[in-house]
Chain A
Amino acid sequence: MTFLFVADLAGAKLPNPILTASGCAGSGKELSQFFPLSEIGAVVTKSIMIKPRSGRATPRMAETPSGMLNSIGLQGPGVDYFLENDIPWLAANGARTIVSIAGETVEDYAVLARRMRNLPGVVGLEVNISCPNVENRGMVFSCHPETARAAIEAVRRNIGGDLPIIAKLSPDVTDIVGIAREVSNAGADGVALINTLLGMVIDTNLMLPKLAQKTGGLSGPAIRPVAVRAVYQVRAALPQLPILGMGGITNGRDAFEFILAGASAVSIGTATFGNPTAVIKVRDELSAILQERGFDSLSDAIGFAHREVQV
């Protein structure tokens, strides 16, 4: 029997469940010199905003035990440049693209959603409502049920068609299931779990926060148990809601953990910084592990850790 590795992420049909993570694959071009982008499930773009952004001052990065802090601050050239340059290039290179969008206001999300209609090669929309590197922490949309709902509703009303909407959530909340339920009710077809956790490193030589922005988002293997927990909890409470899992996945075993917890597909972020071909490694290792463990398809393994067992 042929092993089926195809993934269905909230309606997006992908040849395999391995995606890049937003903000960890440049414009796609940078990684394409190491492997053809068509080889992976999809490329998730950096978060696109309406206007160009310089991002934050440096230092923007600090390595931490099994992880890193970043405060890039969504540096990018803005949606016009993205649509004119990146999208055609990705399509021409055979990539399936999931566009990540980020706004500062609910209206921004509405405007961006309208711009995302009928784009070549685009198979989904990841709505970043959880970037920690914003001016005002109170404006992290996914930290409050009302703002999370408002941003997703704005996208749903304006996207048109059947492009899947995936809401990317922050783990920095007391009840991530409640937020997931809220965005699902607001029209999200799935959730991406998790964005980075807010952290800080103090440089003990300078005796000052290491990052110019003081705080940054923690990523890498250090956060993996938090991410697996979030995926497991949301899957348990909302079994019909598709999940794109991420947080410190470095190899096939890590990805398998997320699939068992309930993710339909996974994103690879920080691991790409350490290894440009990490996505390919994870893809090949996960496929081998699933077959070794006797699964006939990826879908059979999704949420397998939730089964009742007699001890």
Chain B
Amino acid sequence: MINTRAAQISAELISNKRVGSYHHMVFSVGDIASQAKPGNFVAISVGGESSSMVLRRAFAIYRSTERGVNGGLVELVVAPHGQGSRWLTSLEAHDVVDMVLPLGTHFGIPTEPVRALLVGGGYGSAPLFGLAELLKSRGCRVDMVLGASTAAKIYAPLEGKRSVSSLTLTTDDGTAGIAGQITDVLPKLIEENEIEIVYSCGPMGMLQAITAVTDRYQIMHQCAVEEAMACGIGVCMTCVLPVTGDDGVTRMLRSCIDGPVMDGSRVVWDSKRKIPEGTFGA
């Protein structure tokens, strides 16, 4: 589904703060902030007027605020690990970027209060805090588990934790929380908190591993996938992944239009570098 609320705007950078391995960036975007929902993302052109980088960069929305002294705001958490994100994180207050937002699907909110577990890997935690607030406002109990390779790569700001009943951390190197991976602690968290739905965001390998757990417990898993995108608006066909529909047919779907939020049990994981057998049109 095309996100018909999307628009292309000039967004002014309000603040840019380093937090651990990441940058917390706040942009003034005007009224369109009210159209953003947890799970949606933005696409930003990088490198300025004479840039040699021709493709847009996609970032999950960490939080959106409808109004404040600077009008509507969106906040992003950016990891400066590539040429484009390094350019973006080098910007200063009052710099202006070309931004398209809000894009993609959003996390589905149950109509009845449920017991939800939110799972984030690295800066994949970003869209989960706004989701936690929304779930809590609907009467849901929200537990959260965040994991990363090391403590500096866990993004868990104080204000984000307010809506969460419990927060568990895991790091591969044991520098914060439990030493190990997120999936090591999932069964215990699901059982103890009688979890009915898991929401997640993070690297594809992690999402696949979570799906294996949620399938075993037969609970819903809504995950925001991370596929490399060139445009973010559905025209380049590069961010596809195989997803099985209600009709049982597997199709190559665009993660920018039919995602990023997808039903984890419908994604055909482990399909890097191959088209799964039987895919529509293969």
Q: With A61-B236, A274-B55 known to touch, is A54 a contact of B273 (CB < 8 Å)?
A: no
> Is there a chain B Cβ closer than 8 Å to A145's Cβ?
no
Distance A190 CA – B181 CA, assembled complex (angstroms): 59
Q: With A23-B237, A75-B237 known to touch, is A274 a contact of B56 (CB < 8 Å)?
A: yes
Q: With A66-B54, A271-B54 known to touch, is A54 a contact of B280 (CB < 8 Å)?
A: yes
Residues from chain B with Cβ under 8 Å of A270 in the complex? 54
Residues from chain B with Cβ under 8 Å of A78 in the complex? 281
Which of B53, B236, B241 has most chain A Cβ within 10 Å? Answer: B236
- The interface bits of chain B over 1-19 (1 if a CB of A lies within 8 angstroms of the residue's CB, else 0) are 0101011100000000000
Distance A120 CA – B100 CA, assembled complex (angstroms): 32
B257–A212 touching, CB < 8 Å: no
> Is there a chain A Cβ closer than 8 Å to B111's Cβ?
no
B252–A55 touching, CB < 8 Å: yes
Distance A230 CA – B281 CA, assembled complex (angstroms): 34
Distance A31 CA – B233 CA, assembled complex (angstroms): 8
How many residues of chain B have a CB within 8 Å of chain A?
Answer: 37
Distance A212 CA – B272 CA, assembled complex (angstroms): 8
Could you write out 25 A-B pairs with CB less than 8 Å apart?
Answer: A24-B235, A26-B235, A30-B233, A30-B234, A30-B235, A31-B233, A33-B2, A34-B233, A52-B281, A53-B281, A54-B275, A54-B279, A54-B280, A58-B271, A59-B238, A65-B52, A68-B55, A68-B230, A75-B240, A77-B281, A221-B54, A273-B56, A274-B55, A274-B56, A276-B100
Residues from chain A with Cβ under 8 Å of B280 in the complex? 52, 54
B54–A58 touching, CB < 8 Å: no
Residues from chain B with Cβ under 8 Å of A60 in the complex? 237-238, 240
Residues from chain B with Cβ under 8 Å of A275 in the complex? 8, 45, 98
- The interface bits of chain B over 219-258 (1 if a CB of A lies within 8 angstroms of the residue's CB, else 0) are 0000000011011011111101100000000011000010
Residues from chain B with Cβ under 8 Å of A289 in the complex? none
Distance A276 CA – B98 CA, assembled complex (angstroms): 11
By DSSP majority rule, is chain B's interface helix, strand, loop, or mixed? loop
Count A/B pairs, Cβ under 8 Å: 120
Q: A57-B271, A60-B238, A272-B235 are in contact. List 15 more A-B contacts (CB 8 A).
A: A30-B2, A30-B257, A31-B235, A33-B4, A58-B273, A59-B238, A61-B228, A63-B53, A63-B54, A72-B238, A75-B237, A212-B273, A270-B54, A273-B54, A273-B230
Residues from chain B with Cβ under 8 Å of A29 in the complex? 2
A58–B235 touching, CB < 8 Å: no
> Is there a chain A Cβ closer than 8 Å to B274's Cβ?
yes
Distance A51 CA – B280 CA, assembled complex (angstroms): 10
Residues from 256 to 311 in A contacting B, C-beta threshold 8 Å: 270-277
Shortest Cβ distance from residue A85 to the other chain B in the assembled complex, whole angstroms: 14
- A: residues with CB less than 8 A from B are 23-26, 29-31, 33-34, 46, 51-61, 63, 65-68, 70, 72, 75-78, 212, 220-221, 270-277
Shortest Cβ distance from residue A146 to the other chain B in the assembled complex, whole angstroms: 29
- B: residues with CB less than 8 A from A are 2, 4, 6-8, 45, 52-56, 98, 100, 227-228, 230-231, 233-238, 240-241, 251-252, 257, 271-275, 279-282
B235–A54 touching, CB < 8 Å: no
A67–B54 touching, CB < 8 Å: yes
Residues from chain B with Cβ under 8 Å of A56 in the complex? 275
B237–A72 touching, CB < 8 Å: yes
Distance A70 CA – B230 CA, assembled complex (angstroms): 10
Distance A193 CA – B233 CA, assembled complex (angstroms): 26
Residues from chain A with Cβ under 8 Å of B279 in the complex? 54
A277–B234 touching, CB < 8 Å: no
Distance A34 CA – B227 CA, assembled complex (angstroms): 23
Shortest Cβ distance from residue A21 to the other chain B in the assembled complex, whole angstroms: 10
Minimum-distance CB pairs A-B, first 9: A52-B281, A61-B238, A273-B231, A30-B234, A54-B281, A26-B235, A212-B273, A54-B282, A53-B281
Distance A57 CA – B240 CA, assembled complex (angstroms): 9
A220–B235 touching, CB < 8 Å: no
Residues from chain A with Cβ under 8 Å of B257 in the complex? 30
Shortest Cβ distance from residue B225 to the other chain A in the assembled complex, whole angstroms: 12
Distance A193 CA – B263 CA, assembled complex (angstroms): 42
Residues from chain A with Cβ under 8 Å of B228 in the complex? 58-59, 61
Residues from chain A with Cβ under 8 Å of B100 in the complex? 276
